[in-house]
Amino acid sequence: MSSPLPSATTPIRSRDDLVAYIAGGARVPGDWRIGTEHEKFGFRLDDLRPPTYDGPQGIGALLDGLCRFGWERVTEHGQVIALLKDGASVTLEPAGQLELSGAQLSTIHETCREVGSHLREVKTVADELGLGFLGMGFQPKWARADMPWMPKDRYRIMKSYMPKVGDLGLDMMTRTCTVQVNLDFASEADMVKKFRVALALQPIATALFADSPFTEGKPNGYLSYRSHIWTDTDPDRTGMLDFVFEDGFGYERYVDYLLDVPMYFSYRDGVYHDASGQSFRDFMDGRLPALPGALPTIQDWSDHMTTAFPEVRMKRFLEMRGADGGPWNRLCALPAFWVGLLYDDAALDAAWDLVKDFSRDERHVLRDGVPKHALKLPFRGGTVRDLAQRALEIASAGLARRARLNEDGQDESRFLEPLVEYVMANETPAERKLALYHGEWGGNIDRVFSEFAY
C-alpha cells in the first residue's frame, strides 16, 4: 500500500527524502488504480477560432457553466482556472485546451463512463455558448500566433523560457493535445520493469494513436506531428531516458535525473516565483537565486516533478505520454492498452520478452521514425505494425486474465477494438483524415471540425 502523502509544507532535508517520496507511491496490486487524462481543442462554431478565456464564448464561461454539474471552482487572481469533483479535475492547458484529469479508478469500464460523462457535460455547456471541441494531437488550422493564452502564472514563466531551449516548445504548449494514463507499481523492481517496457513500447502507442497530420490547414508531412514537436522542445526535460535501461536503475537514479532538470518556478504564498533555468540542487542548499536562503518543501519537489516531460514520466506512479488526443473510443483504448500490458504479470513478462533485446539505437529508430511513418516504419525485417499487433495480442490477453467484467459480462479487452482495427487495416487515424482531405474534403481543413467534433 502507498505510504501516506507527506505534508506539502514538509521541508526537504536531503536527497533521501526525495527518493522516499517516490518510493512511497508503491501499492500492493489489489490497490492499483487507473488515472486517465485527456486534452481537447475548443473552437467557436461561427468562425472555428479557438476561444479566448474572457467573453461570453470564453473558456472562463465554459468553466462556470460546468459548475452546474457539481464541480467546485479553483481560482487564481480571482479567475477560475480549474474545477474539482470526486477526485477528478478539469484544468486548462496554455491555449485553453480543456483537460480532464480523471479520478483513480479500478477498471477501464469506470474510466470510459467517466470520460463519457465529462464529454456530455462539456457538450451541454458548449452548445449553449456556441462552442465545439475536437480531439486530435495537433491544432489542424490555426497558427501559433492565433492561439490565445490562459491567465495562469505558471504558463507565463514557461512561455518566456521555452524559446531559449527549443524551437517548438511554444507549439507544444499551445497547439498540442494528448491522452495519457497513470498507472501504479508495487515495488522498485516492479517499477523498473514497467518503466522499461513502457519506454520501449511508447513509440508503438504513438503509431497506433497518430492523429496530427495537419499544420495551418495543410498536410505537414507527419502522422503524429505532436510527437515530433517533443524532439525540439527542451532537451533537458524530454526524450527516451536511456539510463532507465542501464544496470542499477531505480528510484535514486530517477531522482538524480530530476535534480539535473532545470527548474521553472517555486510556488509560495500564492505567488509563482520565476526560477526558470535554475537548479533544484542549489535550492536544497539554500542558494536558489529566485528565493535566496529559502529551502524547498515536498510541494516544491512535487511541482518540479511535473516539469519534466520524457516519453514516460515517474511521479509516485508512471505516466504513459506517447499518444495523440482523439475521439471517445480512443480515450478508452489508451488506458486499456497499457493496463493490459502492465497490470497482469504474464502480460508484463511477455511484453518484456518482446522488447528486452532492443538496442539503444533501435529504441531511438522507433522513437524518431514513428512520427512520420507510424505503423509502416520498417523494423527488423518487418514494420511497426508487426510490433503493434503483437503488443495488442499481449494486452488483450492481459485484460482477459484481469477479468474485470461489465454488467453485460464483457471484459476490458473490448476497448482495444479501435486499435485492432487500425492494425488490421494498416492505417492510422491520421492517414484516414489525409485521405478525406485529399478526397471529398477537397483540401478544406474546416471539414475536420464538423465531422470529428465530440
Q: What is the CATH number of the domain that holds 423?
A: 3.30.590.20
Predicted local confidence at residue 9, as pLDDT: 83
Q: Is residue 273 part of a domain?
A: no
- Structural domain boundaries, residue 436: 32-261+308-449
pLDDT, average across residues 220-226: 98
Predicted local confidence at residue 4, as pLDDT: 53
Residue 67 pLDDT more than 50? Answer: yes
Contact partners, residue 346, CB within 8 Å, separation at least 6: 397, 398, 401
Predicted local confidence at residue 171, as pLDDT: 98
Predicted local confidence at residue 11, as pLDDT: 87
Give the whole-angstrom CA distance, residue 172 versus residue 132.
21
Q: Is residue 13 part of a domain?
A: no
What is the DSSP secondary-structure string of 50-69?
PP-SSSTTSHHHHHHHHGGG
Q: What grid cell was written down for 333?
A: 483504448
Q: Is residue 289 part of a domain?
A: no
Residue 431 pLDDT more than 60? Answer: yes
Residue 116 pLDDT more than 80? Answer: yes
pLDDT, average across residues 308-337: 98
Predicted local confidence at residue 2, as pLDDT: 44
pLDDT, average across residues 306-310: 98
Residue 250 pLDDT more than 60? Answer: yes
Instruction: Give pTM, 2 decimals.
Output: 0.97
Residue 22 pLDDT more than 70? Answer: yes
Q: Is residue 235 part of a domain?
A: yes
Q: Is residue 244 part of a domain?
A: yes
Please give the share of the chain, as a percent, with pLDDT higher than 90: 97
Structural domain count, the chain: 1
Q: Environment class of residue 17 by beta-carbon count within 10 Å: exposed (0-12), middle (13-18) or buried (19+)?
A: middle
Give the whole-angstrom CA distance, residue 44 versus residue 48.
5
pLDDT, average across residues 282-308: 97
Mean pLDDT of the chain: 97
pLDDT, average across residues 313-321: 98
Predicted local confidence at residue 199, as pLDDT: 98
Q: Is residue 152 part of a domain?
A: yes
Please give the share of the chain, as a percent, with pLDDT higher than 70: 98
Q: Catalogue the long-range contacts made by 13-18 (C-beta closer than 8 Å, 24 or more residues apart).
A: 14/284, 15/252, 15/255, 15/259, 15/284, 17/298, 18/255, 18/258, 18/259, 18/301
pLDDT digits (tens, 9 = 90+) for 131-165: 999 999 999 999 999 999 999 999 999 999 999 99
Residue 334 pLDDT more than 90? Answer: yes
Q: Of the candidates 429, 442, 441, 438, which has an alpha carbon nearest to the alpha carbon of residue 138?
A: 429
pLDDT digits (tens, 9 = 90+) for 270-280: 899 999 999 99
5 pLDDT band (50/70/90 cuts)? low
Residue 6 pLDDT more than 80? Answer: no
Give the pairing of strands 309-310 and 238-239. Answer: parallel
pLDDT digits (tens, 9 = 90+) for 391-403: 999 999 999 999 9
Q: Is residue 291 part of a domain?
A: no
384 pLDDT band (50/70/90 cuts)? very high
Residue 1 pLDDT more than 50? Answer: no
pLDDT digits (tens, 9 = 90+) for 155-194: 999 999 999 999 999 999 999 999 999 999 999 999 999 9
Asked if 93 and 99 count as a contact pair (C-beta separation under 8 A), the reply is yes
Q: Is residue 252 part of a domain?
A: yes
